[in-house]
Amino acid sequence: MAIDYTKELENAARNMIFEHDPDLLIKMIVRMMVDKFKISHSSFFLRSQQKQGYLLIESCGPLKKKIPLDLICIDKDDVLIRFFREHRSNFIFGRQALLLSEAKAALKGKKLKPSIRAQLAQVLYQMELLETAVCVPSYFRDELLGLLLLGQKNNGKKFIDEELDFFVALNFHVAMAIRNAQLFKELEDELGRKHQLFIRTTVALAAAIEAKDHYTHGHTTRVTDLSMTIAARMGAKAKKNFEAKFLEDLQISSLLHDIGKIGVPEHILNKRNSLTIGERNRIKEHPMIGVNILKSIKELEGAVPGVKYHHERYDGQGYPEGLKEQEIPLIATIIAVADSFDAMSTNRPYRTAMGKVQAINEISRLRGRQFSPLVADAFLDLAKEGRI
């Protein structure tokens, strides 16, 4: 059955648009060449900045057994690379591809300059070592990104012009797709680095809170760890894990749930005696102070509800807005349980800690009153398993 080269090129180009992993993209092309065009083998060498050369990324066919992937690297100054980097393939048959048979014929003629003849002879020697019938370069803005090496046809016939033109056109799209995939990966890596910086900055902010409230040292870390553990148990019980964005917002919100205490005087936070009504009201301001600190940071908008509403109660008797039941964001109901348990089970300036068992019993007693039943049940399950 005849191959519709135009259709094949369109399909390949369309598929390449959606692949953002350079290695997977190359594997797709290499395997297509062998399967679709019945070529004995196909290999692709991709430029590697780290290796200072062109690294074998994928090989398909009998040659794969002879060439170990990621171990063969053609030096950037190798004659084969220099040949294509200088676009010297064009003088042989007017296209950006080197056909072994035509190049051999050109060597037998008298038109080549001695220097070019010597270089071409070395190139063909390398192609024969790699059992390559056609070598097609991948250029991006005159920059050599890689080389596609193709073996002979399985039926022993010669490559026709239509096939060679297809390989060149395909490799043009491959070069663009590889560069786009590389840029996408570089962007992902950069975002990953920025995300890690963002998380470390968040942890530093949390540390600033604890530095002010001496009696809650370690509180933020414990609340964060317990909140994430409760969320994992809730996901397991529902047989549906939370989305990654929700879990990230929960982690950040847990770390920053008390950031508003930065705006509360230290003498109130560290007071050993009972607080006055006025002092209690000042402490109750910390959720809204936290919101005001974070609201201008767009990256933190998903974490703000947990900071704002973690002192709301399921029965509507909490603050700052007196929300109840399903009105309270889930992220806040999780932090509320973790925060309350840690507060009850650790020493505070105005009271000593109650025992862990007593604190767990309090969560159970206040289930459906102060705490969301769904969250409290997950917490109590963890307590029964000895994971609290």
Residue 309 pLDDT: 97
Query: Do 207 and 160 belong together in one domain?
Result: no
Number of structural domains (the chain) is: 2
Query: Do 170 and 223 belong together in one domain?
Result: no
CB 16 within 8 A of CB 25: yes
Q: Which of 162, 183, 204 is the last residue of a domain?
A: 183
Give the whole-angstrom CA distance, residue 286 versus residue 294: 12
Nearest to 138 by CA among 102, 186, 173, 88: 173
- Tabulate helix, strand, coil % of the chain (nearest 5): 60, 10, 30
Give the whole-angstrom CA distance, residue 50 versus residue 165: 32
Residue 364 pLDDT: 96
Q: Is beta strand 134-140 parallel, antiparallel or unpaired with respect to 73-75? A: unpaired
Query: For the segment 336-368, what is each residue's pLDDT rounded down to a tens digit?
Result: 999 999 989 887 666 677 889 999 999 999 999
Residue 361 pLDDT: 95
Would you place residue 50 in the very low, low, confident or very high pLDDT band (cuts 50, 70, 90)? confident
Query: Do 338 and 375 belong together in one domain?
Result: yes
| CA distances for 217 relative to 213, 214, 274, angstroms | 7, 6, 20
Residue 90 pLDDT: 64
Give the whole-angstrom CA distance, residue 290 versus residue 160: 71
Give the whole-angstrom CA distance, residue 124 versus residue 107: 10
Q: Is beta strand 73-75 parallel, antiparallel or unpaired with respect to 53-60? A: antiparallel
Residue 8, CB-side half-sphere exposure with 13 Å CA sphere: 18
Residue 275 pLDDT: 83
Query: Do 257 and 367 belong together in one domain?
Result: yes
> Does 215 score more than 60 pLDDT?
no
103 within domain boundaries: yes
Query: Do 9 and 46 belong together in one domain?
Result: yes
308 within domain boundaries: yes
Position with higher pLDDT, 222 vs 177? 222
Would you place residue 273 in the very low, low, confident or very high pLDDT band (cuts 50, 70, 90)? confident
242 within domain boundaries: yes
Mean pLDDT of 310-337: 97
Q: Which of 183, 204, 233 is the last residue of a domain?
A: 183
Q: Which of 140, 157, 183 is the last residue of a domain?
A: 183
Nearest to 139 by CA among 93, 99, 81: 81
Give the whole-angstrom CA distance, residue 260 versus residue 270: 15
Give the whole-angstrom CA distance, residue 264 versus residue 266: 6
- What mean pLDDT value characterizes the chain? 85
| CA distances for 328 relative to 80, 88, 160, 303, 388, angstroms | 67, 70, 70, 14, 24
> Does 221 score more than 70 pLDDT?
yes
Query: Do 61 and 162 belong together in one domain?
Result: yes
Position with higher pLDDT, 362 vs 295? 362
358 within domain boundaries: yes
Query: Do 229 and 82 belong together in one domain?
Result: no
Mean pLDDT of 237-249: 88
Position with higher pLDDT, 53 vs 268? 53
Query: Do 266 and 175 belong together in one domain?
Result: no
Of 60-74, 139-153, 224-238, 300-314, which gets the smallest average pLDDT?
A: 60-74
Mean pLDDT of 310-322: 96
Give the whole-angstrom CA distance, residue 264 versus residue 168: 69
Query: For the segment 130-177, what is each residue's pLDDT rounded down to a tens digit?
Result: 889 999 998 887 788 899 999 999 898 988 888 888 888 888 888 888
Query: For the segment 73-90, what is each residue's pLDDT rounded down to a tens digit?
Result: 889 999 889 888 876 666
Q: Which CATH number fits the domain that encloses residue 28?
A: 3.30.450.40
Give the whole-angstrom CA distance, residue 144 versus residue 180: 15
Find the distance separating the first CA and the last CA of the chain, reported in whole Å: 67
189 within domain boundaries: no
> Does 199 score more than 60 pLDDT?
yes
Would the pTM of this model clear 0.75, i.e. be above it?
A: no
> Does 122 score more than 70 pLDDT?
yes
Give the whole-angstrom CA distance, residue 67 versus residue 41: 12
Give the whole-angstrom CA distance, residue 287 versus residue 257: 8
Position with higher pLDDT, 4 vs 105? 105
Residue 367 pLDDT: 97
Residue 152 pLDDT: 92
Query: Do 319 and 343 belong together in one domain?
Result: yes
Residue 380 pLDDT: 96
- How crowded is residue 142: how many other Cβ atoms within 10 Å of its Cβ? 7
Query: Do 214 and 363 belong together in one domain?
Result: yes
Query: Do 362 and 240 belong together in one domain?
Result: yes
Most confidently modeled of 4-18, 240-254, 327-341?
327-341
| Sequence-distant (≥ 6) Cβ neighbours of residue 223 within 8 angstroms | 254, 257, 335, 338, 339, 342
190 within domain boundaries: no
Query: For the segment 86-121, what is each residue's pLDDT rounded down to a tens digit?
Result: 766 666 667 788 889 888 888 887 777 888 888 888
Range of the domain at 159: 5-183
Residue 353 pLDDT: 73
Give the whole-angstrom CA distance, residue 344 versus residue 353: 6
Nearest to 347 by CA among 292, 270, 285: 270
Burial tier of 351 (Cβ tally within 10 Å: 0-12, 13-18, 19+): exposed
91 within domain boundaries: yes
262 within domain boundaries: yes
Q: Which CATH number fits the domain that encloses residue 300?
A: 1.10.3210.10
Query: Do 172 and 199 belong together in one domain?
Result: no
Mean pLDDT of 289-307: 88
Would you place residue 178 in the very low, low, confident or very high pLDDT band (cuts 50, 70, 90)? confident
Position with higher pLDDT, 17 vs 276? 276
CB 74 within 8 A of CB 99: no
